[in-house]
Amino acid sequence: EKAGYEHYMRKEIHEQPTALRQTLSGRVDVDRARVDLDVSLPEAFLERVEEVQIVACGTSYYAGRYAARLIESFADVRTTVEIASEYEFGAGRDPDRTLTIAVTQSGETADTLGAIRRADSAGARTLAVTNTLGSSVTRAVDDAVFIRAGPEIGVAATKTFASQVTTLALLAVALGRERGTLSAARARSVLEDLRGLPGAVQQALDAEADVVTAAERYCDEDAFFFLGRDLGVPVALEGALKLKEIAYDHAEGFPAGELKHGPLALVTDRTPVLAVLTEGGAPAETMTNVTEAQTRGADAIGCVSADREFGTLDVAFEVPDVGLLEPLVANVYFQLFAYHVANEKGRAIDKPRNLAKSVTVE
Ligand code: F6R
Protein backbone atom coordinates (compact mmCIF):
# COMPACT_ATOMS: atom_id res chain seq x y z
CA GLU A 1 0.00 0.00 0.00
CA LYS A 2 2.86 2.34 0.70
CA ALA A 3 4.22 1.46 -2.74
CA GLY A 4 7.76 0.94 -1.48
CA TYR A 5 7.86 4.06 0.71
CA GLU A 6 8.66 3.65 4.42
CA HIS A 7 5.93 6.11 5.40
CA TYR A 8 2.71 7.40 3.90
CA MET A 9 3.95 10.92 4.52
CA ARG A 10 6.90 10.53 2.16
CA LYS A 11 4.69 8.76 -0.39
CA GLU A 12 2.18 11.60 -0.23
CA ILE A 13 4.88 14.28 -0.52
CA HIS A 14 6.04 12.52 -3.69
CA GLU A 15 2.49 12.24 -5.02
CA GLN A 16 2.19 16.01 -5.29
CA PRO A 17 2.88 16.36 -9.02
CA THR A 18 0.19 13.76 -9.75
CA ALA A 19 -2.21 15.26 -7.22
CA LEU A 20 -1.73 18.73 -8.72
CA ARG A 21 -2.37 17.45 -12.24
CA GLN A 22 -5.63 15.93 -10.98
CA THR A 23 -6.55 19.19 -9.28
CA LEU A 24 -6.05 21.10 -12.52
CA SER A 25 -7.41 18.51 -14.91
CA GLY A 26 -10.14 19.84 -17.21
CA ARG A 27 -10.47 23.06 -15.24
CA VAL A 28 -8.09 25.36 -17.08
CA ASP A 29 -8.40 26.93 -20.53
CA VAL A 30 -5.26 29.02 -20.91
CA ASP A 31 -6.04 30.33 -24.41
CA ARG A 32 -9.42 31.65 -23.40
CA ALA A 33 -8.09 32.73 -19.98
CA ARG A 34 -10.91 30.77 -18.36
CA VAL A 35 -11.38 28.46 -15.40
CA ASP A 36 -14.19 25.97 -14.97
CA LEU A 37 -14.63 24.83 -11.37
CA ASP A 38 -18.17 23.56 -11.72
CA VAL A 39 -19.58 25.87 -9.08
CA SER A 40 -22.61 27.80 -10.03
CA LEU A 41 -22.19 30.98 -8.03
CA PRO A 42 -24.82 33.26 -9.54
CA GLU A 43 -23.34 36.08 -11.58
CA ALA A 44 -25.42 38.65 -9.72
CA PHE A 45 -23.90 37.44 -6.45
CA LEU A 46 -20.35 37.64 -7.81
CA GLU A 47 -20.93 41.20 -8.86
CA ARG A 48 -22.22 42.30 -5.48
CA VAL A 49 -19.91 40.28 -3.21
CA GLU A 50 -17.97 42.60 -0.91
CA GLU A 51 -16.18 40.17 1.34
CA VAL A 52 -14.80 36.66 1.17
CA GLN A 53 -14.29 34.94 4.52
CA ILE A 54 -12.17 31.82 4.75
CA VAL A 55 -12.51 29.54 7.79
CA ALA A 56 -10.22 26.58 8.46
CA CYS A 57 -7.85 24.92 10.95
CA GLY A 58 -4.17 23.98 10.95
CA THR A 59 -2.63 23.36 7.55
CA SER A 60 -5.90 24.20 5.79
CA TYR A 61 -5.87 27.58 7.56
CA TYR A 62 -2.40 28.30 6.14
CA ALA A 63 -3.62 27.30 2.67
CA GLY A 64 -6.42 29.81 3.22
CA ARG A 65 -3.93 32.53 4.17
CA TYR A 66 -2.01 31.93 0.93
CA ALA A 67 -5.18 31.97 -1.15
CA ALA A 68 -6.58 35.09 0.49
CA ARG A 69 -3.75 37.16 -0.94
CA LEU A 70 -4.47 35.78 -4.42
CA ILE A 71 -8.22 36.43 -4.12
CA GLU A 72 -7.62 40.02 -3.00
CA SER A 73 -5.17 40.64 -5.77
CA PHE A 74 -7.06 38.96 -8.64
CA ALA A 75 -10.68 39.64 -7.64
CA ASP A 76 -10.24 42.92 -5.80
CA VAL A 77 -12.44 41.80 -2.91
CA ARG A 78 -11.62 42.06 0.79
CA THR A 79 -10.74 38.59 2.07
CA THR A 80 -10.39 37.60 5.70
CA VAL A 81 -9.04 34.30 7.01
CA GLU A 82 -10.00 33.04 10.42
CA ILE A 83 -9.13 30.08 12.57
CA ALA A 84 -12.46 28.23 12.53
CA SER A 85 -12.72 27.83 16.31
CA GLU A 86 -12.42 31.64 16.67
CA TYR A 87 -14.75 32.60 13.84
CA GLU A 88 -17.83 34.74 14.25
CA PHE A 89 -19.72 36.21 11.31
CA GLY A 90 -18.80 39.72 12.41
CA ALA A 91 -20.71 42.90 13.16
CA GLY A 92 -21.41 45.28 10.30
CA ARG A 93 -21.09 42.61 7.62
CA ASP A 94 -23.77 42.22 5.00
CA PRO A 95 -24.53 38.48 4.63
CA ASP A 96 -26.04 39.16 1.22
CA ARG A 97 -22.62 40.31 0.00
CA THR A 98 -20.48 37.74 1.80
CA LEU A 99 -19.05 34.45 0.58
CA THR A 100 -17.76 32.20 3.39
CA ILE A 101 -15.43 29.38 2.33
CA ALA A 102 -14.64 26.38 4.53
CA VAL A 103 -11.28 24.84 3.62
CA THR A 104 -11.02 21.32 5.01
CA GLN A 105 -9.21 18.26 3.69
CA SER A 106 -11.33 15.75 5.60
CA GLY A 107 -14.58 17.68 5.50
CA GLU A 108 -15.17 16.41 9.03
CA THR A 109 -13.28 18.89 11.24
CA ALA A 110 -15.75 19.90 13.97
CA ASP A 111 -14.35 23.42 14.39
CA THR A 112 -14.67 24.12 10.66
CA LEU A 113 -18.18 22.64 10.48
CA GLY A 114 -19.18 24.82 13.43
CA ALA A 115 -17.81 27.94 11.72
CA ILE A 116 -19.47 27.31 8.36
CA ARG A 117 -22.78 26.66 10.13
CA ARG A 118 -22.44 30.01 11.91
CA ALA A 119 -21.90 31.67 8.53
CA ASP A 120 -24.91 29.86 7.11
CA SER A 121 -27.11 30.91 10.05
CA ALA A 122 -26.02 34.51 9.52
CA GLY A 123 -27.26 34.21 5.93
CA ALA A 124 -23.93 34.20 4.04
CA ARG A 125 -23.42 32.19 0.88
CA THR A 126 -21.24 29.19 1.74
CA LEU A 127 -18.70 27.15 -0.23
CA ALA A 128 -16.62 24.14 0.81
CA VAL A 129 -13.17 23.39 -0.61
CA THR A 130 -12.49 19.80 0.40
CA ASN A 131 -10.77 16.57 -0.57
CA THR A 132 -13.60 14.32 0.53
CA LEU A 133 -16.71 13.53 -1.52
CA GLY A 134 -19.81 13.06 0.61
CA SER A 135 -18.15 14.48 3.73
CA SER A 136 -20.18 16.37 6.35
CA VAL A 137 -19.03 19.78 5.10
CA THR A 138 -20.47 19.13 1.64
CA ARG A 139 -23.90 18.77 3.23
CA ALA A 140 -23.55 21.99 5.24
CA VAL A 141 -22.82 24.37 2.35
CA ASP A 142 -24.44 25.86 -0.75
CA ASP A 143 -21.64 24.67 -3.08
CA ALA A 144 -18.61 22.38 -2.88
CA VAL A 145 -15.40 22.23 -4.91
CA PHE A 146 -13.15 19.17 -4.69
CA ILE A 147 -9.39 19.48 -4.57
CA ARG A 148 -8.94 15.92 -5.99
CA ALA A 149 -5.62 15.24 -4.23
CA GLY A 150 -6.51 11.58 -3.66
CA PRO A 151 -6.60 9.91 -0.22
CA GLU A 152 -4.20 11.29 2.38
CA ILE A 153 -3.36 8.80 5.12
CA GLY A 154 -0.38 10.31 6.95
CA VAL A 155 -1.61 12.46 9.85
CA ALA A 156 0.51 15.38 8.64
CA ALA A 157 -1.23 17.09 5.73
CA THR A 158 1.13 17.44 2.75
CA LYS A 159 -0.19 16.99 -0.77
CA THR A 160 -3.55 18.43 0.22
CA PHE A 161 -1.97 21.80 1.09
CA ALA A 162 -0.68 22.21 -2.47
CA SER A 163 -3.98 21.08 -3.98
CA GLN A 164 -5.98 23.37 -1.68
CA VAL A 165 -3.93 26.42 -2.66
CA THR A 166 -4.15 25.43 -6.32
CA THR A 167 -7.94 25.01 -6.19
CA LEU A 168 -8.33 28.34 -4.40
CA ALA A 169 -5.98 29.99 -6.93
CA LEU A 170 -8.30 28.74 -9.69
CA LEU A 171 -11.23 30.20 -7.78
CA ALA A 172 -9.35 33.50 -7.45
CA VAL A 173 -8.79 33.59 -11.22
CA ALA A 174 -12.43 32.66 -11.90
CA LEU A 175 -13.65 35.41 -9.55
CA GLY A 176 -11.26 37.93 -11.07
CA ARG A 177 -12.43 37.14 -14.59
CA GLU A 178 -16.15 37.18 -13.65
CA ARG A 179 -15.76 40.48 -11.84
CA GLY A 180 -13.66 42.02 -14.59
CA THR A 181 -10.78 42.79 -12.24
CA LEU A 182 -8.24 40.38 -13.76
CA SER A 183 -7.11 40.98 -17.33
CA ALA A 184 -7.01 38.07 -19.77
CA ALA A 185 -3.24 38.52 -20.12
CA ARG A 186 -2.62 38.34 -16.38
CA ALA A 187 -5.02 35.39 -16.03
CA ARG A 188 -3.14 33.54 -18.79
CA SER A 189 0.16 34.12 -17.09
CA VAL A 190 -1.18 32.80 -13.75
CA LEU A 191 -2.73 29.79 -15.47
CA GLU A 192 0.57 29.08 -17.25
CA ASP A 193 2.31 29.15 -13.87
CA LEU A 194 -0.30 26.76 -12.46
CA ARG A 195 0.28 24.42 -15.39
CA GLY A 196 4.01 24.54 -14.66
CA LEU A 197 3.57 23.81 -10.96
CA PRO A 198 3.54 19.96 -11.08
CA GLY A 199 6.86 20.00 -12.98
CA ALA A 200 8.37 22.56 -10.61
CA VAL A 201 7.36 20.46 -7.60
CA GLN A 202 8.91 17.43 -9.31
CA GLN A 203 12.21 19.32 -9.58
CA ALA A 204 12.16 19.98 -5.84
CA LEU A 205 11.43 16.30 -5.17
CA ASP A 206 14.34 15.34 -7.41
CA ALA A 207 16.62 17.38 -5.13
CA GLU A 208 15.60 15.34 -2.06
CA ALA A 209 19.15 14.09 -1.47
CA ASP A 210 20.24 17.68 -0.71
CA VAL A 211 17.43 18.00 1.82
CA VAL A 212 18.54 14.77 3.50
CA THR A 213 22.04 16.22 3.84
CA ALA A 214 20.64 19.38 5.46
CA ALA A 215 18.38 17.36 7.78
CA GLU A 216 21.36 15.28 8.93
CA ARG A 217 23.37 18.42 9.52
CA TYR A 218 20.72 20.30 11.52
CA CYS A 219 18.52 17.65 13.16
CA ASP A 220 19.99 18.14 16.64
CA GLU A 221 19.61 21.91 16.91
CA ASP A 222 17.65 23.59 19.73
CA ALA A 223 14.91 25.20 17.65
CA PHE A 224 14.03 26.19 14.09
CA PHE A 225 12.69 29.55 12.89
CA PHE A 226 10.88 29.81 9.59
CA LEU A 227 10.77 33.22 7.92
CA GLY A 228 8.81 34.60 5.01
CA ARG A 229 7.06 37.68 3.71
CA ASP A 230 3.87 38.05 1.69
CA LEU A 231 3.03 34.60 0.24
CA GLY A 232 6.03 33.25 2.12
CA VAL A 233 4.35 33.88 5.49
CA PRO A 234 1.78 31.07 5.38
CA VAL A 235 4.50 28.76 4.05
CA ALA A 236 6.80 29.68 6.94
CA LEU A 237 3.98 28.99 9.40
CA GLU A 238 3.18 25.69 7.70
CA GLY A 239 6.85 24.65 7.62
CA ALA A 240 7.10 25.19 11.37
CA LEU A 241 3.87 23.26 12.00
CA LYS A 242 5.17 20.23 10.06
CA LEU A 243 8.37 20.15 12.10
CA LYS A 244 6.50 20.43 15.42
CA GLU A 245 4.00 17.76 14.48
CA ILE A 246 6.24 15.02 13.26
CA ALA A 247 9.72 15.75 14.68
CA TYR A 248 8.47 17.16 18.04
CA ASP A 249 10.97 19.97 17.67
CA HIS A 250 10.43 23.54 18.72
CA ALA A 251 9.75 25.44 15.54
CA GLU A 252 8.10 28.78 14.88
CA GLY A 253 7.17 30.68 11.77
CA PHE A 254 7.24 34.47 11.57
CA PRO A 255 6.63 37.21 9.07
CA ALA A 256 10.33 37.95 8.50
CA GLY A 257 9.97 41.63 9.38
CA GLU A 258 8.73 40.68 12.86
CA LEU A 259 11.96 38.94 13.79
CA LYS A 260 13.52 42.15 15.08
CA HIS A 261 10.40 42.96 17.13
CA GLY A 262 11.04 40.19 19.65
CA PRO A 263 11.85 36.70 18.40
CA LEU A 264 15.41 37.76 17.50
CA ALA A 265 16.19 37.40 21.23
CA LEU A 266 15.77 33.63 20.78
CA VAL A 267 18.24 33.37 17.90
CA THR A 268 21.58 31.68 18.66
CA ASP A 269 24.09 29.54 16.79
CA ARG A 270 21.83 26.58 17.70
CA THR A 271 18.68 27.90 15.97
CA PRO A 272 18.86 27.62 12.20
CA VAL A 273 16.52 29.81 10.18
CA LEU A 274 14.67 28.53 7.12
CA ALA A 275 13.48 31.16 4.70
CA VAL A 276 11.26 31.56 1.66
CA LEU A 277 13.35 33.67 -0.73
CA THR A 278 11.27 33.31 -3.88
CA GLU A 279 9.04 35.31 -6.18
CA GLY A 280 5.85 36.18 -4.31
CA GLY A 281 7.79 36.35 -1.06
CA ALA A 282 9.69 39.68 -1.28
CA PRO A 283 13.04 37.84 -1.41
CA ALA A 284 15.44 40.79 -1.07
CA GLU A 285 13.63 42.16 2.00
CA THR A 286 13.38 38.70 3.54
CA MET A 287 17.10 38.16 3.00
CA THR A 288 17.79 41.29 5.05
CA ASN A 289 16.06 39.63 8.00
CA VAL A 290 17.85 36.34 7.39
CA THR A 291 21.12 38.25 7.61
CA GLU A 292 20.04 39.67 11.00
CA ALA A 293 19.75 36.09 12.25
CA GLN A 294 23.05 35.07 10.68
CA THR A 295 24.75 37.99 12.44
CA ARG A 296 23.65 36.35 15.73
CA GLY A 297 25.29 33.10 14.72
CA ALA A 298 22.37 31.22 13.14
CA ASP A 299 22.84 29.19 10.00
CA ALA A 300 20.45 29.98 7.16
CA ILE A 301 18.68 27.61 4.80
CA GLY A 302 16.89 29.33 1.94
CA CYS A 303 14.54 28.35 -0.87
CA VAL A 304 15.61 30.57 -3.72
CA SER A 305 14.16 31.36 -7.17
CA ALA A 306 16.22 29.89 -10.00
CA ASP A 307 17.23 33.31 -11.34
CA ARG A 308 18.52 34.65 -8.00
CA GLU A 309 21.47 33.99 -5.80
CA PHE A 310 22.09 34.79 -2.16
CA GLY A 311 25.74 33.83 -1.78
CA THR A 312 25.78 34.01 2.02
CA LEU A 313 23.23 31.21 2.61
CA ASP A 314 24.57 28.08 4.32
CA VAL A 315 22.20 25.91 2.29
CA ALA A 316 20.19 26.89 -0.80
CA PHE A 317 17.37 24.94 -2.44
CA GLU A 318 16.44 25.98 -5.96
CA VAL A 319 12.86 26.84 -6.87
CA PRO A 320 11.93 26.85 -10.60
CA ASP A 321 10.15 29.87 -12.07
CA VAL A 322 6.42 29.56 -11.41
CA GLY A 323 5.65 33.14 -10.41
CA LEU A 324 3.37 33.55 -7.41
CA LEU A 325 3.32 29.78 -6.88
CA GLU A 326 7.02 29.60 -6.01
CA PRO A 327 6.38 29.66 -2.25
CA LEU A 328 4.37 26.44 -2.77
CA VAL A 329 7.52 24.79 -4.09
CA ALA A 330 9.47 26.11 -1.08
CA ASN A 331 6.82 24.38 1.01
CA VAL A 332 7.74 21.04 -0.57
CA TYR A 333 11.35 21.53 0.56
CA PHE A 334 10.08 22.30 4.07
CA GLN A 335 7.93 19.16 4.04
CA LEU A 336 10.94 17.07 3.04
CA PHE A 337 13.07 18.77 5.69
CA ALA A 338 10.54 18.03 8.46
CA TYR A 339 10.20 14.47 7.23
CA HIS A 340 13.93 13.76 7.20
CA VAL A 341 14.57 15.44 10.57
CA ALA A 342 11.78 13.29 12.06
CA ASN A 343 13.18 10.23 10.32
CA GLU A 344 16.68 10.89 11.74
CA LYS A 345 15.06 10.95 15.17
CA GLY A 346 13.09 7.75 14.59
CA ARG A 347 9.71 9.40 15.15
CA ALA A 348 6.35 7.74 14.44
CA ILE A 349 5.96 9.88 11.34
CA ASP A 350 2.57 8.70 10.08
CA LYS A 351 0.97 8.71 13.53
CA PRO A 352 2.59 11.42 15.64
CA ARG A 353 1.87 11.32 19.36
CA ASN A 354 -1.31 13.02 20.63
CA LEU A 355 -2.67 13.77 17.13
CA ALA A 356 -5.50 12.41 14.98
CA LYS A 357 -6.01 12.74 11.22
CA SER A 358 -9.42 14.24 11.57
CA VAL A 359 -10.45 16.17 14.65
CA THR A 360 -14.16 15.67 15.21
CA VAL A 361 -14.47 17.44 18.56
CA GLU A 362 -14.61 21.22 19.13
C1 F6R B 1 -1.44 19.35 10.02
C2 F6R B 1 -2.80 18.83 9.99
C3 F6R B 1 -3.88 19.57 10.71
C4 F6R B 1 -5.10 19.71 9.78
C5 F6R B 1 -6.29 20.32 10.54
C6 F6R B 1 -7.47 20.57 9.62
O7 F6R B 1 -0.56 18.55 9.31
O8 F6R B 1 -3.04 17.84 9.37
O9 F6R B 1 -3.45 20.82 11.16
O10 F6R B 1 -4.73 20.50 8.70
O11 F6R B 1 -6.67 19.47 11.58
O12 F6R B 1 -7.91 19.38 9.03
P13 F6R B 1 -8.90 19.41 7.81
O14 F6R B 1 -8.21 20.03 6.67
O15 F6R B 1 -9.26 17.97 7.56
O16 F6R B 1 -10.09 20.23 8.23
> Of residues 2, 244, 345, 357, which has the active-site annotation?
357
Tell me what pLDDT residue 41 has. 86
Count how many residues are written for the chain.
Answer: 362
With a 6 Å cutoff on the Cβ, whether 59 touches ligand 1 is yes
Tell me what pLDDT residue 197 has. 98
User: Which residues lie below 8 Å from residue 258, measured CB to CB, with a gap of 6+?
Assistant: none
Atom of ligand 1 nearest to the CA of 359: 11
Atom of ligand 1 nearest to the CA of 357: 8
Cα–Cα distance measured from residue 212 to residue 238, given in angstroms and rounded to the nearest whole number: 19
Segment 86-97 mean pLDDT: 95
Encode pLDDT of 100-137 as tens digits: 999 999 999 999 999 999 999 999 999 999 999 999 99
Cα–Cα distance measured from residue 154 to residue 11, given in angstroms and rounded to the nearest whole number: 9
Q: Examine the residue annotation and report whether 357 is marked as an active-site residue of this protein.
A: yes
Atom of ligand 1 nearest to the CA of 56: 16
With a 6 Å cutoff on the Cβ, whether 105 touches ligand 1 is yes
Largest CA distance in the chain: 57
Q: What is the mean pLDDT of the chain?
A: 97
Q: How far is the CA of 43 from the centre of ligand 1 (A)?
A: 32
Q: Which of 106, 152, 357, 362 to mutate to test the pocket of ligand 1 (most atoms within 8 A of CB)?
A: 106
Segment 155-181 mean pLDDT: 97
Cα–Cα distance measured from residue 168 to residue 5, given in angstroms and rounded to the nearest whole number: 30
Find the radius of gyration of the CA atoms of the chain: 20
Cα–Cα distance measured from residue 318 to residue 193, given in angstroms and rounded to the nearest whole number: 17
Cα–Cα distance measured from residue 341 to residue 248, given in angstroms and rounded to the nearest whole number: 10
Cα–Cα distance measured from residue 282 to residue 305, given in angstroms and rounded to the nearest whole number: 11
Helices (H), the chain: 8-14, 16-24, 43-48, 58-75, 110-122, 136-140, 159-179, 184-206, 208-218, 232-247, 283-295, 326-344
With a 6 Å cutoff on the Cβ, whether 135 touches ligand 1 is no
With a 6 Å cutoff on the Cβ, whether 52 touches ligand 1 is no
Residue 54 has pLDDT above 90, yes or no: yes
Encode pLDDT of 317-356 as tens digits: 999 999 999 999 999 999 999 999 999 999 999 999 999 8
Higher pLDDT, 231 or 46: 231
pLDDT band at 40 (very low <50, low <70, confident <90, very high): confident
Encode pLDDT of 203-233 as tens digits: 999 999 999 999 999 999 999 999 999 999 9
**For ligand 1, atom 10: residue with the closest CA:** 59
Cα–Cα distance measured from residue 301 to residue 312, given in angstroms and rounded to the nearest whole number: 10
Residue 358 has pLDDT above 90, yes or no: no
Tell me what pLDDT residue 47 has. 87
With a 6 Å cutoff on the Cβ, whether 58 touches ligand 1 is yes
pLDDT band at 38 (very low <50, low <70, confident <90, very high): confident
